[in-house]
Structure 1
Amino acid sequence: MNNQKPTIEGAWADPFILKDGEDYYLYPTKDSDGWLYEKFHVFHSKDLKNWDGPYLALDLNDVSWANSRAWAPGINKYNGKYYMYFTAEQQIGVAVSDTPLGPFKDMLGKPLIQKNEYDCQSIDADLFIDEDNQPYLLWGQGKCWIVPLEEDMHTFKEDPIPLSHQIYKQRGKDASIFDSGVYNEGPHLQKINGTYYLTWSNYDTRDPRYQICYATSNHVFGPYEVPTDNRVTQPSERHFGTGHASMTTHGDDWYLVYHRLIDPNSTLLRETCISKIDWIDGKPVVDVDKTIGE
């Protein structure tokens, strides 16, 4: 059993963090047996340490095309509105709100990306807004796709591009999604000092070896360079399954928001943590034994 407190009390996974001005908004999956929960929630903080909530952000009972499996939302602000790309029943939808606390409303009345539509599991959406205000959507388990969006936030400007094949190519033709450092799920894109950092999880979320890896590029579409040692969440003798992350800043520092297994010996439930990122020659390194709130 973990002997240190998580940042958010309770079973919460797949955390996505949004910084809006001086406020932080955290959108996790409510973890439950069977992962069948039907609502999305949001927490609010000023300092990454003290959180209020949860507040109801989106209820699948208000979504016509899905009833359960509310997983892994990705949220960002674009042209004054807040867009949530959410997984429901292994399909991806898009919802919009005037405030980061919601309520978010389903925009299309149907999935934006249908189940297995792009030859992968349609989960784990991430919304990246580049410095020129161009939005990009990333998603996928088994493959990582990226596509630029039109201003309506649901029309693809062009055909999606697979980023994961670049990672596989550098790892060797026999690499699988369960090999160390190879893409499995949970993409997240950040631009830091002119460099694009793509992070993801490899292995399976139920596997104690679940971890965050990264690659870098000078262009949003790549090619992405995969370092030989591209593990972000470092090995620990106490905390396991440290994956599905997003990133944010507080002051001059960067922080990683991720989940870990509550007790890998007896449950598949997960809890959310936040740890400072140390930068070593451009490599993001996270000591998962040092988290905010512990």
Structure 2
Amino acid sequence: MPHRADIRIRDPFVLAEETDRYYYLYGTTDGNVWSGPATGFDVYRSRDLEHWEGPYPAFRPKAGFWADRHFWAPEVYRYEGRYYMFASFKSEEKRRGTQVLAADGPLGPFEPLAGEPVTPRDWECLDGTLHIERDGTPWIVFCHEWLQVKDGRMAAMPLTRDLREAAGEPVVLFRASEAPWTVAGQDGTVYVTDGPYLHRLSSGELLMLWSSMSRHGYAIGIARSESGTALGPWTHDPEPLLPEDGGHGMLFRAFGGELMLAMHAPNGQPDERAVFCRIEEGDGTLKALRSR
């Protein structure tokens, strides 16, 4: 049974499944993260967030699947009785996009709901996350990638209730350079948007965790929706929640009731590991208490 420190993983996502009291850990698990043919996604499960059973093959592409590389950042949600995976894929012929897959259980196997991503065909997109509005409408929040637009954008789009396709046009929520804590890379014009995850505070305020580069490295910042919906408008906290060498965060509730942040750190390969950090909510914001 591997220990957390033994598992190389980027973009970790934890599903705390109440039905069997297991934590399920998904993420970018291919060894060749950036190039070459992709294998799929693995999943691990644990009772204590330290010792993990697996890996189990959550997704393996069947013959004819449109993508062959960059299988990134799977997120899994229990929604209307089934389990849905939002994940990014790419091929030489088609732009990167977020596709929705489904399974009857958290171990999979996950199968695509449709033959193509739900994100716009002509956009380079990644890191789609599911957000359910208070009226029950499902939305995807995702990144319009800096590789195409330089100043990375965060966007949102409504989905059909069955999550099979878009139910409206994409709306740009903000650009990475609008946050006061982000810094430009490469030639001074490139700003990264990565890893959105939406969380509603007990006060009702809607926050978004997202990642970019800070002056200390890969980081997680907080944006706030003035309307309390995915459409915002969004404002940015002046300083990141976690400022250095780790990111692509999400929040989950441990079985003991604690609010936990999952992220990967450090950011450099091949040393990426899942890091779990206890989060305290207070004074209208989130505070990281300790790492595990």
TM-score, normalised to structure 1, is 0.80
Letter in 1 for 2:261: L
Q: Structure 1's 69 and 208: CA in aligned 2 closer, same or farther, altered over 3 A?
A: farther
Shift of residue 155 of structure 1?
A: 2.3
Letter in 1 for 2:103: S
Q: Structure 1's 14 and 65: CA in aligned 2 closer, same or farther, altered over 3 A?
A: same
- Percent identity of paired positions between Structure 1 and Structure 2: 27
Q: Which residue is 1:147 aligned to? A: 157
Q: Structure 1's 216 and 233: CA in aligned 2 closer, same or farther, altered over 3 A?
A: same
Q: Is the 8 A contact 2:216 2:243 kept in 1?
A: no
Q: Is the 8 A contact 2:12 2:263 kept in 1?
A: yes
2:129 pairs with one of 118, 126, 143: 126
- Structure 2: where are the runs of 5+ without partners? 91-95, 146-151
Q: Structure 1's 16 and 93: CA in aligned 2 closer, same or farther, altered over 3 A?
A: same
Shift of residue 176 of structure 1?
A: 6.1
Q: Is the 8 A contact 1:135 1:148 kept in 2?
A: yes
Q: In 2, Cα distance between the equivalents of 1:220 and 1:13?
A: 25
Matches within 5 A, 1:12-51: 12-21=9-18, 22-35=21-34, 36=36, 37-51=38-52
> The residue matched to 2:229 in structure 1 has which SS?
coil
Letter in 1 for 2:39: E
2:224 pairs with one of 212, 216, 222: 216
Matches within 5 A, 1:101-116: 101-113=107-119
Q: Deviations over 1:171-224 (max 9, x none)?
A: 49xx76659xx76211111222112110111129xx970010011222331122
Shift of residue 7 of structure 1?
A: 3.2
Shift of residue 249 of structure 1?
A: 1.0
2:193 pairs with one of 184, 187, 210: 184
Letter in 1 for 2:157: V
Q: Which residue is 1:158 aligned to? A: 168
**1:226 counterpart = 2:232:** no
Q: Which residue is 1:238 aligned to? A: none
Letter in 2 for 1:291: S
Q: Is the 8 A contact 1:15 1:29 kept in 2?
A: yes
Matches within 5 A, 1:1-294: 7-21=4-18, 22-35=21-34, 36=36, 37-62=38-63, 64-89=65-90, 90-113=96-119, 117-118=122-123, 121-140=124-143, 141=145, 142-165=152-175, 168-169=177-178, 171=180, 184-193=193-202, 194-203=204-213, 209-217=217-225, 218-229=228-239, 231-235=240-244, 241-250=245-254, 251-261=256-266, 264=268, 267=269, 269-286=271-288, 290-292=290-292
Q: In 2, Cα distance between the equivalents of 1:63 and 1:7?
A: 34
Q: Is the 8 A contact 1:7 1:274 kept in 2?
A: no
Letter in 1 for 2:248: H
Shift of residue 147 of structure 1?
A: 1.3
RMSD: 2.9
Q: Structure 1's 62 and 80: CA in aligned 2 closer, same or farther, altered over 3 A?
A: farther
Q: In 2, Cα distance between the equivalents of 1:242 and 1:26?
A: 17
- Structure 1: where are the runs of 5+ without partners? 236-240
Shift of residue 113 of structure 1?
A: 2.9
Q: In 1, Cα distance between the equivalents of 2:221 and 2:63?
A: 36
Q: Is the 8 A contact 1:200 1:212 kept in 2?
A: yes
Q: In 2, Cα distance between the equivalents of 1:62 and 1:246?
A: 32
Letter in 2 for 1:23: Y
Shift of residue 144 of structure 1?
A: 1.1
Q: Number of aligned pairs? A: 267
Letter in 1 for 2:162: D
Q: Deviations over 1:10-56 (max 9, x none)?
A: 32101122223243221110152453432101112233333222211
Q: Is the 8 A contact 2:26 2:41 kept in 1?
A: yes
Shift of residue 234 of structure 1?
A: 4.5
Q: In 1, Cα distance between the equivalents of 2:86 and 2:213?
A: 23
Q: Is the 8 A contact 2:30 2:41 kept in 1?
A: no
